[in-house]
Structure 1
Amino acid sequence: MKSLVTLFLIYLFACQASAQTVRPDLHSPDIWNVTNRKTEIITESGKKVLRVNEAVNDGLVTLKDHSFVNGTIEFDVKGRNVLQKSFVGVAFHVQDAKHYEVVYFRPFNFMNPDTARRLRAVQYVSMPDYPWEKLRADTPGKYEKRVNPVPDAEDWFHAKIIVNGKSVKVFVNNATDPCLEVERLGTLASGNIALWTGNSSNGSFANLEITPARE
């Protein structure tokens, strides 16, 4: 009986360890690889913030030595209310600068008076085979949705991404219902995690947390 209890405790400890939350230090430049961007370390309202500059084409700030398969990614992010100049999110299953999946937001569409634009506030893509242009043309409205609740386009908001097998769910500001729920595309199964900014976009990130799923 004691041996069974011991085995159970070992199993329970292993499960808890496998689901331990990682909180990377955004102020430790040595743990990040920066691609096509420059970064600035600041403190804002008590938050350790990593600010990413604006540049042509997409940029990634990739966490070194951390492989992600399934689990939960949470972060605070701030973009700007400038049309076509604010694409901010987190990439996962990153292989390199061309192969990854990403969930990103378009803050300039959050409260846009154009109804069609409001329906394009959060987006999932799988690069390079499933960019937003292809998804919008082939399956309009499936991989991009409006955000609910609607954040201030110029302020910080909290995002949570849950990756579970072929499923991706996205939540904003601690909502109980996802604003986006889609089936993953492509064949990527694991890889790194990166802070992501789109073409001609800057962005600020804070409070990144990664909790792997229990296997």
Structure 2
Amino acid sequence: MSHSFLRYTQCLIVGALPLSQAVSAAPAASTAAVAMAYPMTPDIWRGEKTTFAPDEAFPGGLMTVTEGYAETNAGTFAEGTVEFDIKALAYADTGILLHRRDADTAEFIYVRANPDCPAANDCVQYAPITNGRMQWNAYSRYQHSAPLVAAGWNHLRIVIADGRLRLFVNHALEPSLDVPRLQGLADRGGFAVKGPAIFANFVVRPDDKGSSAPPPVDVPQPGVVRHWLLGPVTPAPANGIPTLNDLPNTGWQPLEAEPDGLANLARAIPKNDGPRRQVAWLKVEIDAVADGARTVDLGFVPRAWLFLNGARVYGGENFYYPSAKRLAPAGRFAPDNARVELSLHKGKNTLVLATDDAWRRTDGTLWPDHYGWAAMARFEQPAGLTLR
């Protein structure tokens, strides 16, 4: 840890003083939580396209990240408060990565700075990065409007406690984001920031975990498939469309869905570094008390194929590009991206859901996906059904 980091940290104390005054504050009483400041200097931060500048209005200096990331080599973080000022230089996913273990593992909180932010539901977002996949399109429920300034400085305060994350924008009393349970693979790690943006006043308070207000609760819904079997991934067929001939014979393992029913394949399946896309297989047995038609809601990104008792009953795409391929909401995961009518027979029925990791680029080519990979099934009329 550098001497400049230690000197700068030792003179910052948490209290009622704003950061600009806290820099010169006297040491606090033992009951106060000490703030650890990360000055914007090259001995603390490193990035390929990063510059640093002193400024008398910003005691810790300014750091400009014109492209990509800047990461710090000073310390790790698990719980507490992180706050900083950011001036976005473009409409992009600019923000911070917490619990960063490496380029493939982190919790990403970012802003899409634009004039519509106070009303737009995608101004700020939380997205876990797991196995190299940044899952913005799998967690659309964790994006929201915010009192953000489109062209200027914004203050972000992030509070993490007991696995819950809250984001407060520009000193608001209520959070713009409230994530009941972080979805990443690491519960502690380093920091990185993402441009294009200017950053200043980066402070960490490990002991400041905010109020004890209860988190929002995911209320279990009837009819959701919560217990899947996940098969080994298989190579995507040459024509891109899997069939049951590709279904694995062995190697099936239990996969528990999240409380709302999302089966997170990006977290369960290792990173795909190869050029060939992969197909993931989910399976569940359904016992029906009688023959009859049932409606199942499907949520998925990016593509899905549904098979019932050996026959394909659905195939669909939920790409972001081109826009015509986007299912509501805007090419993101939702519990009801599609509705499928099923004809169940009395007794045992086998439902297989295949989904691949394809990402369609703007030029139309398909490549292994580095974004969300998820699926979900929910029966609208679950009475008389037992899901195994």
- TM-score bin, normalised by smaller chain: 0.7 to 0.9
Does residue 98 of the first structure (1) align with residue 111 of the second (2)? no
Identity of aligned residues (%): 27
Task: Give the CA deviation at 1:206.
Answer: 0.5
Instruction: Give the equivalent residue in structure 2 for 1:168.
Output: 165
Q: RMSD value over aligned CA atoms?
A: 2.4
Instruction: Give the equivalent residue in structure 1 for 2:50.
Output: 39
Instruction: Give the equivalent residue in structure 2 for 1:126.
Output: 128
Distance 1:174 1:112, change over 3 A: closer
CA distance in 1, matches of 2:194, 2:206: 20
CA distance in 1, matches of 2:109, 2:182: 11
Alignment of 1:66-85 (within 5 A): 66-80=75-89, 82=90, 85=91
Instruction: Give the equivalent residue in structure 2 for 1:23.
Output: 37
For the 8 Å contact 1:130–1:185, the answer to whether it is kept is: no
Unaligned runs of 5+ in 1: 1-11, 137-141
CA distance in 2, matches of 1:184, 1:112: 24
Query: Relative contact order: is structure 1 or structure 2 higher (C-alpha 8 Å, sep ≥ 6)?
Result: 1
The number of aligned residues is 176
Instruction: Give the equivalent residue in structure 2 for 1:159.
Output: 156
For the 8 Å contact 2:86–2:156, the answer to whether it is kept is: yes
Distance 1:112 1:178, change over 3 A: closer
Query: Partner letter of residue 44 of structure 2?
Result: I
Higher strand share: 2
Query: Partner letter of residue 39 of structure 1?
Result: T
Query: Partner letter of residue 138 of structure 2?
Result: K
Instruction: Give the equivalent residue in structure 1 for 2:202.
Output: 208
Higher helix share: 1
* 1:187 aligned residue (173, 177, 185): 185
Task: Give the CA deviation at 1:69.
Answer: 0.5
TM-score (norm 2): 0.42
Cα shift readout 1:172-200 (whole Å, capped 9, x = no counterpart): 11111101101211331110011123xxx
Instruction: Give the equivalent residue in structure 2 for 1:62.
Output: 71
Unaligned runs of 5+ in 2: 1-28, 210-388
Structure with greater Cα Rg:
2
CA distance in 1, matches of 2:34, 2:57: 25
